[in-house]
Structure 1
Amino acid sequence: MPPADLRPATLADAPAITGLLNEIDRIEIGRPETDQHTVEADLKHPRTDPARDSWLALDGGRPVAYGLLWDESGGERVDIDHYVLPDHQQSGLRVLVAMETRALAVARANGAERAVVHLHLNSRPTTDTALLTERGWSVVRTHHVLRRTLDPAADRLPAAPAGVRMRACATEADRVKVHELHQRSFAQHFGFQPREYRQWLDDIGAEALDWSLVWIAGTDDLGDAGFLLARDDREAMGWIRSIGVLREARGRGLGGLLLRHAFAHFAARGRDTVGLGVDTANATGAPRLYERHGMTLHFAVDTWEAVLA
């Protein structure tokens, strides 16, 4: 089989890339779950230059592999996405090699001597993982994507217990508070990268975000101590992007209250399913919290790492 053409992706390629990713979704998880606006947002991210940080392999004009790189840390840590159809592993390998080369160049431009590269793949990926292990990649973490069905009759807004209050994220000051809560509550999580406020807004796609799906929870004695940030722009399901509670406020029911609040709002909007992702080694008890609230495994994602020097 002749090698596929390899070139940078452009925003005009978003429909074709979305088609490729949904074809991979069907193989890996049984149904398409990639939205075009997500592909477009990734290509437009302020810390990604598609001309240098994206790769699209085309076989007879048909996309067969795709890669995207972004620099979140400004240091040695670099993240990549990698997608390939099962019968085009050599094209996928070409994309991977190009991304490794670019990742090391980015890290060195940041002043680092090495690049620590992370890649998230379905636990049963279309990528031939033998190609990864041969190049020194290994799995360092596993996340689960969980989902839960919703029932508008059963999923009603919960009453806050005594001494606890909930409010919507309605003002710029509230957004600043959610950023603070996110940074503090996630600081010890695997792979966390600190973000200034404006960087964080870019990461969450603030311009297109429905801020009515962002809430803050607090207690009388601690003040604001937890948050939940959700999205309703995915066709497959409502999505809880992040939920966090400060260490000193854990064990007081804030996480469960925020979850039930989100379930009720999604159910009222007519959604029948909600999902989220969780680190299986999360030390805060989040996996057990989600299980208690009826969330079950949809699929697993492995974090692969390579250290390039």
Structure 2
Amino acid sequence: MELVWRPLTTADIPAVTALYTAAEAVDDTGEPLSEEDFAQSFGKANLPEGSIACFTDGMLAAYGLVEPREDPSDVHRVRLDGAVHPAFRRRGVGTALMRELVTRAQSLHLAAHPSLPLVASTMVESRAAGHIALVSSLGFTADRHFYEMEVSLGESLAQVPMPAGYEIVPFSVARSDEVRQVLNAAFAEHWGSTARTPEEFAASFTDNKRFVPSASYLALDRASGAVIGFVLSRYYPVIFEQTGVRELWIGDVGTLSEHRGRGVGSALLGWTLARGREQGYHRAGLSVDSANSTRALGVYERAGFKVGRTWVDYGLPVELG
């Protein structure tokens, strides 16, 4: 089987979407993606240097994307994403794809952050035995586990009153940079987290078609009027199209450390879920580090969230010599 490799282009979006859909039908990761979703990720990527497509007999057999961090601190953890079409698995395509992606990650890293150590990372659904075997054979090891949790937005939602001295207000674009700075401070101690630049924050939220401002809320300190907490939500239409379920995805939740332990986060999350139900969402989902140091897991469990899947962040330290 002759393999032909080249970088991806935006013209490949339909073929990549079709490949991903075929893979998802087999892998059942619970993360369907549309052409619009891929168009958005392609728009953020350095396609000439940070992507790869593998063809055989003119058919797309595999694709991959490299996602460097814009402003890493101690370690540059570069994410590798991609998939192999089910018809071409167990033929060495996945191994070749991952090696190509690691090479591209190394090149991008050396151009941007040569003084930092590099770790190539990839997320693997815990039930994907073939994917786990592939990355393990290349030397990747399981560095962190993340729970994907969900809750039905029925009548039994837990409601926690906002403690005295705080109030909840809708997200406002005018406060975007303040929210970004609070997000960076709230996540500063989280494993693998790096401060988001204004451009990265905009790409994740305010400029992102999946961001839902109407289901995103802020907690304010009444005394100062400052933002001290946030819930930022997204909506992926493809999930509704394929399942009939309108899911509100809780993209980021956080409270400044000096305001934790008072019930602010629980009240803000409960408020968001209740408003989501009023807006016609059937369930809410989120992802959390299983070893989260801020005890976020307990907050989500008390709000009714239950673990549906586990994802594993596999990492490979890359030699730079």
Q: Does 1:119 align with 2:122?
A: yes
Higher mean Cα deviation, 58-67 or 175-184?
58-67
Deviation of 1:207 (Å): 4.8
Cα distance in structure 2, aligned partners of 1:81 and 1:31: 16
Between 1:239-248 and 1:228-237, the stretch displaced more is 228-237
C-alpha separation in 2, matches of 1:159 and 1:282: 24
Aligned Cα root-mean-square deviation (Å): 2.4
Q: Which amino acid aligns with 1:185?
A: A
Give the equivalent residue in structure 1 for 2:141.
138
Distance in 2 separating the partners of 1:163 and 1:113: 43
What does the per-residue CA deviation read over 1:105-133, in whole Å, with 9 as the maximum and x for residues that have no partner?
11211223642111111112264433322
Match of 1:12 in 2: 11
Q: Give distance in 1, aligned partners of 2:85 and 2:208.
A: 33
Match of 1:224 in 2: 227
* Cα 1:141–1:170 shift into 2, 3 Å: same
Q: C-alpha displacement at 1:137, in angstroms? A: 1.1
Q: How does 1:165-180 map to 2 (within 5 A)?
A: 165-172=167-174, 174-180=175-181
Residue in 1 that maps onto 2:64: 67
Answering whether residue 107 of structure 2 is matched by residue 105 of structure 1, we say yes
The code of the aligned residue for 2:79 comes to D
Q: Which amino acid aligns with 2:126?
A: S
CA drift of 1:182 comes to 0.6
* Amino acid of the structure 2 residue aligned with 1:212: S
Q: How does 1:1-309 map to 2 (within 5 A)?
A: 2-29=1-28, 33-45=32-44, 48-74=45-71, 76-86=76-86, 87-89=88-90, 90-110=92-112, 111-112=114-115, 114-125=117-128, 127-151=130-154, 153-155=155-157, 160-172=162-174, 174-204=175-205, 206-208=207-209, 209-220=211-222, 223-236=226-239, 237-309=247-319
Where structure 1 has 5 or more consecutive residues not aligned to the other structure, the ranges are none
Identity level (%): 24
CA distance in 1, matches of 2:197, 2:234: 21
Distance apart, 1:216 and its partner CA: 0.9
CA distance in 1 between counterparts of 2:71 and 2:262 reads 36
- Structure 2 residue identity aligned to 1:181: V
C-alpha displacement of 1:184: 0.4
1:307 Cα deviation after fit: 0.9
CA deviation after TM superposition for structure 1 residue 104, in Å: 1.1
Does the Cα contact within 8 Å between 2:71 and 2:194 map onto a contact in 1?
no
User: Kindly tell me: are residues 277 and 3 of structure 1, through their superposed partners in 2, closer, same or farther at Cα, counting changes over 3 Å?
Assistant: farther
Q: What TM-score results when the alignment is normalised by the length of structure 1?
A: 0.88
Aligned residues: 304
Render the CA deviation track for 1:236-281: whole Å, top value 9, x for unaligned: 2221100001111111111112211221222122221211100001
**Range that drifts further, 19-28 or 272-281:** 19-28
Alpha carbons of 1:42 and 1:60: their partners in 2 closer, same or farther (altered >3 Å)? Answer: same
User: For 2:168, what is the secondary structure of its paired residue?
Assistant: strand
The answer to whether the Cα contact below 8 Å between 1:24 and 1:126 also exists between their aligned partners in 2 is no
Are residues 3 and 124 of structure 1, via their aligned partners in 2, closer, same or farther at CA, if it must alter by over 3 Å?
Answer: farther
Cα drift, residue 30 of structure 1: 6.6
Instruction: Classify 1:270/1:284 alpha carbon distance in 2 versus 1 (closer, same or farther; 3 Å).
Output: same
Q: Which amino acid aligns with 2:188?
A: A
Deviations 1:74-110 (A, max 9, x none): 5633221132245524111121111111111112112
- The answer on whether the counterparts of 1:25 and 1:33 sit within 8 Å (CA) in structure 2 is yes
Judged with a 3 Å threshold, the aligned counterparts in structure 2 of structure 1 residues 30 and 105 are, in CA distance, closer, same or farther, namely closer
Q: Secondary structure at the match of 1:191?
A: coil
Task: Name the aligned partner's letter for residue 98 of structure 1.
Answer: E
Q: Is the 8 A contact 1:22 1:31 kept in 2?
A: no
Cα gap change, 1:71/1:287 in structure 2, threshold over 3 Å: closer, same or farther? same
- Counterpart CA distance in 1 for 2:222 and 2:30 is 45
CA separation in 2, counterparts of 1:261 and 1:58? 49
Match of 2:242 in 1: none
Question: Structure 2: any 5+ residue segments left out of the alignment?
Answer: 240-246
Structure 1 residue 298 displacement after superposition: 1.9
- Any conservation in 1 of the 2:153–2:277 contact (CA below 8 Å)? yes
